[in-house]
Chains A and B, each alone.
Chain A
Amino acid sequence: MSGGMGIGASAPRSEDRRFITGRGRYVDDINLRSQQYAWFVRSPHPHAELRGIDAGQALGMPGVTAVLTGADLEADGIGPLPVAWGITSVDGSPAVEPEFPALATGRVRYVGNPVAVVIAETRAAARDAAEAVNVHYEELDSVSNAVAAMEEGAPRIHEAAEGNLCFNWEWLPSVMAPDAKANTEKALKEAAHLVSLELVNNRLVPNAMEPRASLADFNSATGQLTLYTTSQNPHVNRLLLCTATLRMPEHKVRVVAPDVGGGFGSKIYHYAEELAVCWASRRLGVPVKWTAERSESFLGDAQGRDHLTRVELALDAEARFTALRVDTIANLGSYVSTFGAAIPTVFYAPMLAGVYKTPNIYVTVKGVFTNTTPTDAYRGAGRPEACYLIERIVDEAAAQLGMDPAEIRRRNFIQPDEFPYQSPVGQLYDSGEFEGCLDLAMEINGYAGFDERRKQSEARGRLRGRGMSFYIEACGAAPSQAAGQLGARAGLYEVATVRVHPTGVVQVMTGTHSHGQSHETTFAQIVADRLGVDFSNVEIVHGDTGEVPFGMGTYASRSLAVGGSALVKALDKVVDKGRKIAAHLLEAAAGDIEFGDGQFRVAGTDRQVAFGDVALAAYVPHNYPLQELEPGLEETSFFDPENFTFPSGCYICEVEVDPETGVVEIRDFAAADDFGNIINPMVVEGQVHGGLAQGIGQALMEHCRYTPEGQLLTGSYMDYCMPRADDLPSFKVATRCTPTSFNPLGVKGCGEAGAIGAPPAIINAVLDALRPLGVRHIDMPATPNAVWWAIEAARSGE
Chain B
Amino acid sequence: MDVQVSFTLNGKTVSAAASSATLLVDLLRNRFGLTGTHVGCDTSQCGACVVHVDGASVKSCTMLAAQVDGCAVDTIEGLSGDGELHPLQQAFHEHHALQCGFCTPGMIMSAADLLKRNPRPSELEVRDWLEGNMCRCTGYHNIVKAVRAAAGAMGEEGS
Check B128 against A726 for contact (C-beta < 8 Å). yes
**Within the complex, what minimum Cβ distance (angstroms) separates B151 from chain A?**
15
How far apart sit A725 and B135, CA to CA, in the bound complex (Å)? 8
How far apart sit A589 and B35, CA to CA, in the bound complex (Å)? 56
**Within the complex, what minimum Cβ distance (angstroms) separates B149 from chain A?**
13
Chain A: which residue is nearest B98 at the CB level? A19
Check B101 against A259 for contact (C-beta < 8 Å). yes
Segment from B38-46, B52-60, B62-70 that makes contact with A: B38-46
Q: Which residues 74-100 of B sit at the A interface, judged by CB distance below 8 A?
A: 75-77, 79-80, 85, 89, 92-94, 96, 98-100
Contact of B92 among A16, A689, A726, A728 (CB under 8 A): A16
Given contacts A686-B99, A726-B131, contact A26 B136 (CB under 8 A): no
CB neighbours (8 Å) of A23 from chain B are 36, 77
Contact of A517 among B89, B94, B99 (CB under 8 A): B99
Given contacts A20-B93, A22-B105, contact A518 B37 (CB under 8 A): no
CB neighbours (8 Å) of B38 from chain A are 26, 209-210, 261
Check B94 against A12 for contact (C-beta < 8 Å). yes
Check A20 against B43 for contact (C-beta < 8 Å). no
Check A262 against B96 for contact (C-beta < 8 Å). no
**Within the complex, what minimum Cβ distance (angstroms) separates A695 from chain B?**
9
CB neighbours (8 Å) of A262 from chain B are 99-100, 102, 136-137
Chain B: which residue is nearest A682 at the CB level? B96
User: Is B73 among interface residues, defined by CB-CB distance under 8 A?
Assistant: no
Contact of B139 among A25, A207, A209, A693 (CB under 8 A): A693
CB neighbours (8 Å) of B140 from chain A are 689, 693, 724-725, 728
User: Is A24 among interface residues, defined by CB-CB distance under 8 A?
Assistant: yes
User: Is B126 among interface residues, defined by CB-CB distance under 8 A?
Assistant: yes
Check A293 against B127 for contact (C-beta < 8 Å). no
Given contacts A294-B43, A722-B134, contact A15 B141 (CB under 8 A): no
Given contacts A26-B102, A209-B100, A294-B42, contact A724 B134 (CB under 8 A): yes
How far apart sit A28 and B28, CA to CA, in the bound complex (Å)? 13
Chain B: which residue is nearest A206 at the CB level? B136
CB neighbours (8 Å) of B144 from chain A are 725, 730
Given contacts A20-B108, A22-B36, A731-B139, contact A209 B48 (CB under 8 A): yes
CB neighbours (8 Å) of B138 from chain A are 686, 689-690, 693
Chain A: which residue is nearest B76 at the CB level? A22
**Within the complex, what minimum Cβ distance (angstroms) separates A56 from chain B?**
26
Residue of A17, A259, A515, A730 with most partner-chain B CB within 10 A:
A730
Bitwise, B95-120 to A at CB < 8 A (1) or not (0) is: 01011111111001000000000000
User: Is A774 among interface residues, defined by CB-CB distance under 8 A?
Assistant: no
User: Is A295 among interface residues, defined by CB-CB distance under 8 A?
Assistant: yes
Check A29 against B42 for contact (C-beta < 8 Å). no
How far apart sit A208 and B46, CA to CA, in the bound complex (Å)? 11
How far apart sit A17 and B84, CA to CA, in the bound complex (Å)? 11
Chain B: which residue is nearest A291 at the CB level? B39
Q: Which residues 169-209 of A sit at the B interface, judged by CB distance below 8 A?
A: 207-209
Given contacts A20-B108, A686-B142, A730-B123, contact A209 B42 (CB under 8 A): no
**Within the complex, what minimum Cβ distance (angstroms) separates A452 from chain B?**
23
Given contacts A717-B43, A725-B140, contact A20 B104 (CB under 8 A): yes
Check A16 against B103 for contact (C-beta < 8 Å). no
User: Is A608 among interface residues, defined by CB-CB distance under 8 A?
Assistant: no
How far apart sit A140 and B130, CA to CA, in the bound complex (Å)? 45
Check A261 against B131 for contact (C-beta < 8 Å). no
**Within the complex, what minimum Cβ distance (angstroms) separates B16 from chain A?**
16
How far apart sit A722 and B134, CA to CA, in the bound complex (Å)? 8
Given contacts A21-B76, A23-B77, A728-B140, contact A209 B45 (CB under 8 A): no
Contact of B131 among A24, A692, A725 (CB under 8 A): A725
How far apart sit A260 and B43, CA to CA, in the bound complex (Å)? 22
How far apart sit A325 and B40, CA to CA, in the bound complex (Å)? 42
User: Is A694 among interface residues, defined by CB-CB distance under 8 A?
Assistant: yes
Q: Which residues 516-534 of A sit at the B interface, judged by CB distance below 8 A?
A: 516-518
User: Is A683 among interface residues, defined by CB-CB distance under 8 A?
Assistant: yes
Given contacts A294-B40, A294-B46, A690-B139, contact A21 B134 (CB under 8 A): no
How far apart sit A608 and B66, CA to CA, in the bound complex (Å)? 68
**Within the complex, what minimum Cβ distance (angstroms) separates B12 from chain A?**
16
User: Is A228 among interface residues, defined by CB-CB distance under 8 A?
Assistant: no
CB neighbours (8 Å) of B137 from chain A are 209, 262, 516, 686, 690
**Within the complex, what minimum Cβ distance (angstroms) separates A159 from chain B?**
36
CB neighbours (8 Å) of A690 from chain B are 99, 136-139
How far apart sit A22 and B37, CA to CA, in the bound complex (Å)? 7
Q: Which residues 27-60 of A sit at the B interface, judged by CB distance below 8 A?
A: 28-29, 31
User: Is A718 among interface residues, defined by CB-CB distance under 8 A?
Assistant: yes
Chain B: which residue is nearest A517 at the CB level? B99
Check B142 against A689 for contact (C-beta < 8 Å). yes
Check A725 against B126 for contact (C-beta < 8 Å). yes
How far apart sit A685 and B95, CA to CA, in the bound complex (Å)? 11
Check B101 against A261 for contact (C-beta < 8 Å). yes
User: Is A269 among interface residues, defined by CB-CB distance under 8 A?
Assistant: no
CB neighbours (8 Å) of A507 from chain B are none
CB neighbours (8 Å) of B14 from chain A are none
CB neighbours (8 Å) of B131 from chain A are 724-726
Contact of B36 among A16, A24, A722 (CB under 8 A): A24
Given contacts A209-B136, A264-B136, contact A24 B101 (CB under 8 A): yes
Check A22 against B134 for contact (C-beta < 8 Å). no
**Within the complex, what minimum Cβ distance (angstroms) separates B51 from chain A?**
10
Check A19 against B101 for contact (C-beta < 8 Å). yes
**Within the complex, what minimum Cβ distance (angstroms) separates B28 from chain A?**
10
User: Is A124 among interface residues, defined by CB-CB distance under 8 A?
Assistant: yes
CB neighbours (8 Å) of A412 from chain B are none
Contact of A209 among B40, B75, B85, B108 (CB under 8 A): B40
Q: Which residues 458-491 of A sit at the B interface, judged by CB distance below 8 A?
A: none
Check A724 against B130 for contact (C-beta < 8 Å). yes
In the complex, 18 of the A-B residue pairs with CB atoms within 8 angstroms, ordered by the A residue number, are A15-B101, A16-B93, A19-B101, A19-B104, A20-B98, A20-B105, A23-B77, A29-B29, A124-B21, A262-B102, A294-B42, A294-B43, A295-B42, A516-B137, A717-B45, A725-B128, A726-B124, A728-B127
* 9 A-B pairs closest in CB distance: A22-B36, A261-B102, A19-B101, A693-B139, A22-B76, A516-B100, A516-B99, A689-B139, A29-B35
Given contacts A22-B77, A725-B127, 10 further A-B contacts (CB under 8 A): A13-B96, A15-B101, A16-B101, A21-B79, A21-B89, A22-B35, A22-B36, A22-B75, A685-B96, A690-B138
Instruction: List residues of chain A with CB under 8 Å of any chain B CB.
Output: 12-13, 15-26, 28-29, 31, 124, 207-211, 259-262, 264, 293-295, 515-518, 682-683, 685-687, 689-694, 716-718, 722-726, 728, 730-731, 754
Instruction: List residues of chain B with CB under 8 Å of any chain A CB.
Output: 21, 29-30, 34-43, 45-46, 48, 75-77, 79-80, 85, 89, 92-94, 96, 98-105, 108, 123-124, 126-128, 130-131, 133-145
